Chains A and B, each alone.
Chain A
Amino acid sequence: MKNPTDLALLVGINTYPAMGSLQGAENDVLEFEKWLIDPLGGGMDPNRVWKVLGSQLNPVPPTHAYEARPWSLDVYAKIRQLKQNIPDSGAYPLKGRRLYLFFSGHGFSPEFNETALFMANAAHDALGENVPGFALVNYMLGSGWFEEYVLIMDCCRDFISTATKGTHSMPNLPPHPEADPKFAYFYAVPQANKVPERKLGPNGEMQGIFTASVLEAFRGHKTDPNGKVTKQTVKEYLYAAMLDRLGNGVSARVDGHDIVIAEDMTPQKTKVTVRLKSESTKPIELKDGSTLAVLDTITPSAGQFSLELEFGTYFLSQVGSQEIKPFTAYGARYEVEF
C-alpha cells in the first residue's frame, strides 16, 4: 500500500427535500473512492476512507427537509472521530500524511474563496445548514494533524445573499509550532456559477462533470515533465476540460500549494475522432498548438479519421489553406468536426 496513513472524508448527498434532488452526487463519492483505494491512484487503506452518504443515513427516503440527513453534525462527528480515534504519531500530533475532503451535492459560495455544501436538511428557514469546506480545512490546518490537505467540492457556487455560512462550533485546535501544512483546493466553478451533472459515469451513470474531470486529471491525462500529477497540472487540465464541458465561458477554480497528487504516471492519451464536413480529399495537416510544428499529414479517404493525442491544443488545416480549426484534446474520447 502506497499511502497507508492517508485519510479521506467523502460526503455525497442526492436527496434534498427542500432544494430539488440530485442523481449523481453519491456516484461521485463512489467513483472518487475507487481512485483513492486504487494502488495506481491514491493507494489508500479502504478502512481509512470514511463516507457520509444521504442514502445510508436515511432508512426511508425523507419527504421533509427537517428530517433529512446528513445534517452538519453528521459531518462534524467524523471530524470528532478523527480527533479521538486516529492516534497521534508520538509527541507530534500527526495523524497521517494527507487528508482528502471530497464533498458533492448542492452548494453555494458564501465568500469569494469559500464553497459550502448544503446539508440535506437545508431549506429557506435553515440555510445555515451547510458545511464550508475552506473553513473546515482552516480549522485543522495549523494543528499538525496532516502534512497535506486536498479539498474537492463538486457543487454549485451560487451567490445566495440570504444564506449564512455554516458554523462548526467545535473547540479550536491548538496550533502546533512544527506544523507546516500544504493545502490545495479544487472548486467546480467560479463564484455565482452552477455546475451540472451528466451521464458521464463508467456505465453511463449520472455523475458531476467536475468529479469526472478531476478523476481524469488525477489519472494522468496531464502530467508534468517528470510524470507527476500535481495541483498545477490538474488546474491546467481542469481549466480546459471544464471550459469545454460547461460551455458558458467559465471554468473550474483551483488554488493552493502545488501538492503532488500522483507520481510515475504515463500520460493518458485521448482518442480524437475528426469528422469531415466536406468530401474533399485534400491532405490535412495536424499541428501542435505549442510549437506550430506539423505533427502529421493525413489524406482523408472516408468521412472521418482518428488520432491518439496527449492532452493539449492542436489545430487542423488543409494544406494550402489559411483556415485553421483549433481544438483541445482531453478526456478518453473527443470529437472534432472539420
Chain B
Amino acid sequence: MERGTKLSSEPTNRIRIQGPSTLAELFLINARYEVVARGVGSLEAIVPSGLYFAKTKVGESEMQETILVDGSKTEWSFAAPEPLLASPVPLPRTLFWNEAHAKFASDLSGQPAGPCSLVFVVREADASRPWRQPGIGASVCDMEGRFIARLHRHGQTDPAERIGGVNLGLMPGPYRLRVNSKHFGTYERVVWLKEGLQTQVFAIRNSIGFRGQRRRMTDLMGASVLYSPLHEGFVPDPDPESAPQVSEAVAAALFAGRPTVPDMWLRESQYFARGNPLLGLMGAYLALIQAEPDRSLVEHVAHDLTSMVPEWPDLLSLREWLGLDIGTSYRIPPMLKRSWEMILNRATTNESTVPGGSLLSQIAPRILSSGPWLTWQYSPEGTAQRSESGTRLPDVVRRLKARQPDERAVKRAPVQQYLEQSIEFSEREDEEMSLEELARNMNLPLSSVDGAVAELADELEAED
C-alpha cells in the first residue's frame, strides 16, 4: 500500500436541511438514533452515506422526516407546513390568527386615550365554542386592588366575532389585571404603563384544568403583553421580523426555557427596546439562558431602559444581576417570572429585598409555577405589616412539636400548611429555629414567612 492512501474510504456527503421556519430547531439523527448535527432555521453537515432522520422543533411541537443520504441529493426541506406559534395576539402566521379579531384590536387601540393607555382584549380562539359574555370576569385594578374597569361593563364587544376589549387612558405606573373564574378562583398579574406608549394585553379563552374537569376561562396566565407608540395602536404585522412578531417569538422561547430564536433577533430585541421596553427585557433574559450569556447585550438593554423605565422591577432585577446597586427594594411584583426568580434568590436571605407588608411579599406564596409571566392566585391581602413573628416563633415551634400527628386536622391556608410541615420536619429545637432557615427551606422571601408565622401563631392561640 502506498503512503498517503486512505485506509478507510467512508463516503462523505455535504448536506443542507432547510427548516420550516427561521425559528425551527433542527436535528440530524443517524440510524442508531444519535444526534449528529444541530441548527436553527437551517442545518449544514458533512456525514457518511446512510439513512437519517431530520427532526424539527418549534416550541414543543415536533416533526420528523426520513432522508436517505447516498450522494444523489444534497438539499432537503420540510414538506410539512410551518408549525405555528400559539400566540394569543391576533397576528398573521400564528395559530389563532383571525382577521376580524385583528381589526377589532386595531380599531379599539386606535382610539385616543390619556398620556398612556392600556388595551386589554379577550377573544375566543375556538369558533366552535359558545361565547356568552365577552370578557366576563376580566378586569383592570389599581395597585390597591380597587376596580378601575370591568371588561364586560366598560369595554366594547363584538359577540358575533367573539371578542371584547377595553382601551383605558391611565396615568403611567403599575396596574393589576384580574381574572375571576367560578371554577378556578381569581388570578392576577401586573402590567406597567409608560408615558407615550400603549400597553396591549391579549388573552384568549382557553381550556384550563385536567382530565374531564377542564373548564374554559380567560387565560390570564398565558396573556401576552405588547407595547407600541401611543398613537400607532395595534398593527397585526405579518413580517416575521416586526416588533410584535419578534416579541411573541421571544416570549415563547423564554417560556420554553430554550434559546431558540436566532442571535440576530436577540440583537433586534435590543433595538426594539426603545419602543417596546418589555421586548428588550425579554431579549436580555433570553440572552441569560444561552450557554454563554452575552453580558454586553444585557448591559446595553439595562443601560437603555434605565432612563426610560427606571422603576420597573424587571429592570431592577436585571441591573442587580449586573452587579449594580439599585438602591431600593421590591414592593411591586415584576411582569416576568424570570425576574421573580432572580429577586427570590436574594429575598430568602435578605429581609429588605422584599419588605414585609408589600404586595410582593403577600403574593409570593401564591405564585403559579408556569411562566413566562408572573401570575398569582388572588387572595384579599392584609394591610398590617407584621414584624413580631420572630419572637413568637419559638412558641409556635413548641406547640407544633408537642402535638400528636393526628392533631393536624385543622384546615389551613397553603402557606401555613407548608410552614407547619417545615417546622415539624425540622430536627432543630424551638430556640434554635430561625425565620431565615424557614425562608430558605420554603424558598420564600423572609417577609412572607414572617407574615405566615404571625398568622399561624394567631391561629394556634385561637385553637387553644
Given contacts A249-B63, A289-B50, contact A19 B33 (CB under 8 A): no
Instruction: Report yes or no: A76 in contact with B32, Cβ–Cβ below 8 A.
Output: no
Contact of A108 among B210, B222, B442 (CB under 8 A): B210
Instruction: Report yes or no: B70 in contact with A292, Cβ–Cβ below 8 A.
Output: yes
Residues from chain B with a CB closer than 8 A to the CB of A113 are 257
B46, chain A: closest CB distance, angstroms: 16
Which residue of the partner chain A has the closest CB to B257?
A: A112
Residues from chain A with a CB closer than 8 A to the CB of B375 are 161
Instruction: Report yes or no: B222 in contact with A161, Cβ–Cβ below 8 A.
Output: yes
A325, chain B: closest CB distance, angstroms: 10
Residues from chain A with a CB closer than 8 A to the CB of B367 are 164
Given contacts A159-B370, A192-B60, contact A19 B211 (CB under 8 A): yes
Instruction: Report yes or no: B50 in contact with A292, Cβ–Cβ below 8 A.
Output: yes
Given contacts A161-B222, A169-B418, A326-B51, contact A313 B368 (CB under 8 A): no
Instruction: Report yes or no: A190 in contact with B208, Cβ–Cβ below 8 A.
Output: no
Instruction: Report yes or no: B33 in contact with A288, Cβ–Cβ below 8 A.
Output: no
Residues from chain A with a CB closer than 8 A to the CB of B94 are none
* Residues of B428-459 whose CB lies within 8 A of A: 428, 437, 440-443
B252, chain A: closest CB distance, angstroms: 12
Distance in angstroms between the alpha carbons of A265 and B81 in the assembled complex: 43
Residues from chain A with a CB closer than 8 A to the CB of B441 are 169-172
Instruction: Report yes or no: B208 in contact with A239, Cβ–Cβ below 8 A.
Output: no
Contact of B219 among A161, A190, A236 (CB under 8 A): A161
Question: Does chain A have a CB within 8 A of B290?
Answer: no
Question: Does chain A have a CB within 8 A of B296?
Answer: no
Instruction: Report yes or no: A20 in contact with B211, Cβ–Cβ below 8 A.
Output: yes
Instruction: Report yes or no: A249 in contact with B62, Cβ–Cβ below 8 A.
Output: yes
Contact of B209 among A124, A251, A290 (CB under 8 A): A124
Residues from chain B with a CB closer than 8 A to the CB of A292 are 49-51, 70
Instruction: Report yes or no: B32 in contact with A313, Cβ–Cβ below 8 A.
Output: yes
Question: Does chain B have a CB within 8 A of A231?
Answer: no
Residues from chain B with a CB closer than 8 A to the CB of A193 are 60
Question: Does chain B have a CB within 8 A of A89?
Answer: no
Question: Does chain A have a CB within 8 A of B392?
Answer: no
Question: Does chain B have a CB within 8 A of A154?
Answer: no
Given contacts A112-B256, A113-B257, A162-B184, contact A80 B425 (CB under 8 A): yes
Given contacts A167-B418, A292-B50, contact A161 B208 (CB under 8 A): yes
A229, chain B: closest CB distance, angstroms: 14
A225, chain B: closest CB distance, angstroms: 11
A334, chain B: closest CB distance, angstroms: 15
Q: Which among B60, B209, B256, B370 has the greatest number of chain A C-beta atoms within 10 A? A: B370
A265, chain B: closest CB distance, angstroms: 16
Question: Does chain B have a CB within 8 A of A95?
Answer: no
B259, chain A: closest CB distance, angstroms: 12
Instruction: Report yes or no: A171 in contact with B437, Cβ–Cβ below 8 A.
Output: yes
Instruction: Report yes or no: B368 in contact with A171, Cβ–Cβ below 8 A.
Output: no
Question: Does chain B have a CB within 8 A of A96?
Answer: no
Distance in angstroms between the alpha carbons of A249 and B54 in the assembled complex: 12
Instruction: Report yes or no: B422 in contact with A249, Cβ–Cβ below 8 A.
Output: no
Distance in angstroms between the alpha carbons of A124 and B211 in the assembled complex: 11
Distance in angstroms between the alpha carbons of A76 and B424 in the assembled complex: 12
A152, chain B: closest CB distance, angstroms: 19
Residues from chain A with a CB closer than 8 A to the CB of B212 are 20
Instruction: Report yes or no: B31 in contact with A313, Cβ–Cβ below 8 A.
Output: yes
* Residues of B401-429 whose CB lies within 8 A of A: 414, 418-419, 421-422, 425-428
Which residue of the partner chain B has the closest CB to A113?
A: B257
Question: Does chain A have a CB within 8 A of B37?
Answer: no
Cβ proximity bits A235-257 to B, threshold 8 Å, 1 near / 0 not: 01101100100000111000000
Question: Does chain A have a CB within 8 A of B332?
Answer: no
Question: Does chain A have a CB within 8 A of B307?
Answer: no
Question: Does chain A have a CB within 8 A of B328?
Answer: no
A235, chain B: closest CB distance, angstroms: 8
Which residue of the partner chain A has the closest CB to B183?
A: A124
Distance in angstroms between the alpha carbons of A110 and B258 in the assembled complex: 15
* Residues of A70-95 whose CB lies within 8 A of B: 73, 76, 80
Residues from chain B with a CB closer than 8 A to the CB of A106 are 210-211
Instruction: Report yes or no: A169 in contact with B419, Cβ–Cβ below 8 A.
Output: yes
Question: Does chain B have a CB within 8 A of A291?
Answer: yes
B251, chain A: closest CB distance, angstroms: 14
Residues of B within 8 A of A (CB): 29-34, 48-51, 60-64, 66, 68, 70, 183-185, 187, 208-213, 219, 221-222, 255-258, 366-371, 375, 377, 414, 418-419, 421-422, 425-428, 437, 440-443
What are 5 inter-chain pairs, A to B, with CB distance below 8 A? A73-B421, A111-B257, A250-B62, A291-B49, A292-B50
Known contacts A170-B422, A171-B428, A249-B62; 18 additional CB pairs below 8 A are: A19-B210, A76-B421, A80-B425, A106-B210, A124-B183, A124-B184, A128-B414, A164-B366, A164-B414, A165-B369, A169-B419, A171-B437, A193-B60, A249-B63, A289-B51, A291-B50, A313-B31, A313-B51
